[in-house]
Each structure stands twice: as structure tokens, then as C-alpha cells.
Structure 1
Amino acid sequence: MAEATTTVQQDDIIARLKLSGEWFAAAAELEFEGLIAKVADDQGVAVSDEELQSEFDAFRADLDLHKAEETNAWLSNSGITVEQVEAMLESNILQAKLADKLIDDTQIDAHFNQNPAAFDYAEISQLVVDNAGAAGELALSIREEGEDFAALAAEHSLDDSTSSDGGYLGLISREEAGGLPGDIADRIFSADAAEVIGPFEVPGGGHLIIRIEEVGKHELDDDLRAVLRGQLFDAHMAQLADN
């Protein structure tokens, strides 16, 4: 058995990071930042002193480091230099600038229009019980007798994460629903609002009843456009890395 000690050695920290996979993730991130720097240089994209200072100020604010001495103390305690922080922040700015330059709205529009199913969503509630007979009776009472789904979910559902909210699960995408067994995903996205489907047997012996609150398609608003720009940029950079 290893001797008990209160001193943590740097080699031990590195070994633990390697065991957890964080070491290799950090190495991959640094390699990616190197690629970002090269592409930025090729594209003539740079970060001004003013941009870097603004980003550094925001970084400090996020950590509640409002005074210079607080920042210096944090850097010292973390074993990090100002230059290392600035290098990370500069890479973040370069990524944002490159994404804006390399991925235009035409590419985003094309991706959105060519992959319509990827932007479908369903808003659902669920009720989970462990007995097929009970599930059938509950589904029948909701459909035929007009029993309140939320009240029954609160009383009977075994899913602790949603039962207190009347079974409300929230929004799911087609991709997320695709992880459900059988044709449940197809049933969800072909259903009408307020329709109750199921019960379905799910792994673990549970029986699932689903109420469809709404089925729709996300609009290509500014928020989604920003997400897609980031995804398309990441895909572009991954392709460059492979080449």
C-alpha cells in the first residue's frame, strides 16, 4: 500500500490527468489551437490588442476578479501565467473570426434546407410504470375517460426526474428520439398535439406512455444560425486536420 502523504507531486497530477483522459483531451485542444493559428495566418486574420484586452477583461469578470491583485493572486494560485491565459483567449477570438470568414450565411442556409429532419422537435410528457397491465389501463383512462395525464404521471410515474412536473420531459430532437426502441420516434413525430401514444415497452422492463405537447420545426433564427456556424466551422477544421 502506498505511504500516506499530504504532498501532491506534479508527476502524480499528470498521471491522474492521463488516467482520466483529460491529459489527452488537453493535448488535442492545444493541437487544434495550433491549427487555428496556422489557418488564421493563411487567411490574414489577426487579433488586435484592444480585442485581446476586452476578452481578458471579460475573462476576469467571469471569475469575479475585479482588481489587479485579485487577478495576480488567482494566477499565482493556479500556476498559470498571463501569457498562457492570453494565448487561450487569442485562440478563442481567432476561432470566432475564422468561423465568420469561412462559413457564410449561404452555407448555413443550405445546410438547414438540406437537413430538414435534423431541426424537427417534439415537446413531450411521459409516464413510466413497471407493469404492462397498469400501463394499458392508464393509457385507456387518459384516452377514453379523459383523465388528466399530468395528474396521473405525478401519482403513478416511476421516473423521479419528471413525475413531480406532471411527467413533463421537454423538447427532444429526432436524433435524441432515435435512441428509443422500436418505432417510438416515428410515432412521436407523426402524432398530433395533445395525442397520447403508447404504452411502449422500454429497456429495463418499464412501460412508457407519451403525451405529445407539440411537434414542430426550429426556425433558423440568429441563435440557431450561430450554432450551425460553429458546427460547420468545426467540421471544416476537422477536415483540414485530417488532410
Structure 2
Amino acid sequence: MANSGSGETVTERIVRVLETFDADRTVQTASEIGRRANLPSSTAHRMVAELVQCGLLERDEEHRVRLGMRLWELALRGSHALRLRQAALPYMERVQARVREHTQLAVLENDETLFVERLSHPQAGANITRIAGRLPLHASSSGLVLLAHAPRELQDRVLAGPLGAVSPETVTDPVRLRQVLAAVRRDGIVVAPGTVESVSTGVAVPVREGRGRVVAALSVVLPRETPTRPVVDELRAAAAGISTALGARRP
């Protein structure tokens, strides 16, 4: 795509416009989008109009703007995340029926933990994660699984910091974090009390594809004092089932 006067490509500007939306900001005016995307007002209004015209954005009856169904449709076509979710959901539902808290599926995306599915019981404990939400790799049980099995250069980049604390118990010391990652690779499990919220414990295991590469993390979030051993057994059985399903569905 051609560059703008600022040196940005049109594609980069479109991404900035779309990134102004999140789970807490689902509807905006074109002017609000322009301010949050740091775009001139005329440029923002023109881009919004073009994105509405092609269906990537939609206008409501008050002429405010939201993400379009066309964007959702395109995102799901041939998506690796869709294939992974389809393979994982039956096993996640089994875990959820027995644990009755939060069951989550996460992948590594742009050096962060991206949650692609979550099942929750109405009376489950605290959990800040959400579908399509992100956390730093070092700051959740799922992220620790993904980071432990990531390429060495990615691990070194993350460990070089800064390692921000999501909670007072998030591991932010690089030496200690390397020890945690080594234990994850050795034990095949993460039990992380208080890493995200002090009242919760995250428990996570790796999900592997047919050739053994780790492609996701399967986790549950429990109240802090809940015994974790039964959950570990459930997660390991589910992860094995997902890995088998992924192998069976390989083109």
C-alpha cells in the first residue's frame, strides 16, 4: 500500500483505526477514532467512511461506528485459531463441566498471550482474562507455558525486559523467571498462585500438534485455596485429546 505524507502505509493506518476498538470500547464516533488513532480529523472520517463501505466497520442508528460483521467473517476463514478452537472445545467443555470455574485456551501472538476461548461458570471466581484479550507472556500460567516452549530468541527478548508486574506476585526477576521456565519444560505443568490476581491460581499445560510442537496452552483459573492436583489430571487428559484431534485434522 502507498505511503502517506507521514511515511506510514495505508495498511498501518487501517490497523491503527481498528485497534482503537476493544472490549470496553465497542462503539465510537469517527472523531474519537481519529483522536485515539492519532490521525487528522479529515483522514479519520475518510477512512471510516471507506471501511464502512466495505463492511469492515458498521454505523449504528446514531451514526456511531463499531466493528463490522464482515471483519469477523474474514478473520475466521481458514483461521488457525478457528481450527484450534474447534479441536479444543469438546475437551474444554469436559474440563469445565468437572471444574466449574474458568477454562481457557491461549496462543502465542506477537510476543503476548492471546486468549482465543474461555468457558466460565456463572459462580466462578475472579478472572480478568477474556476472549481476544492479551496478557504479557510472563504474567499468567498460560503465558508461562507458551514462553517456556517458545524459540530461544523470543525468550531472550522477553527476559531482557521490562518485565512488568500484573500483580504483586508476578515473577519479574529474569533469573527467577528462567528457573520457572525450566521447571515448566521439565514438569509439563504450571501452577501459578497470585500471578494475575492475588485471590486466584492459574494452572496450565501445553497443547501440542501432531509433530509435538506446542501450539497453545490450556488452563483453568481457580480460587486461591482450591486443590490443584485433580485439575492437573483433567488438563493433561484434555490436552492429550486436543493434540490427537489436531493431528487427525491435519490437512
Q: Please report the TM-score for the alignment, with normalisation by the length of structure 2.
A: 0.25
Structure of higher RCO (CA pairs closer than 8 Å, 6+ residues apart): 1
* Rg (Cα) greater in structure: 1
The answer to which structure has the higher helix fraction is: 1
Name the structure where strand makes up a greater proportion of residues. 2
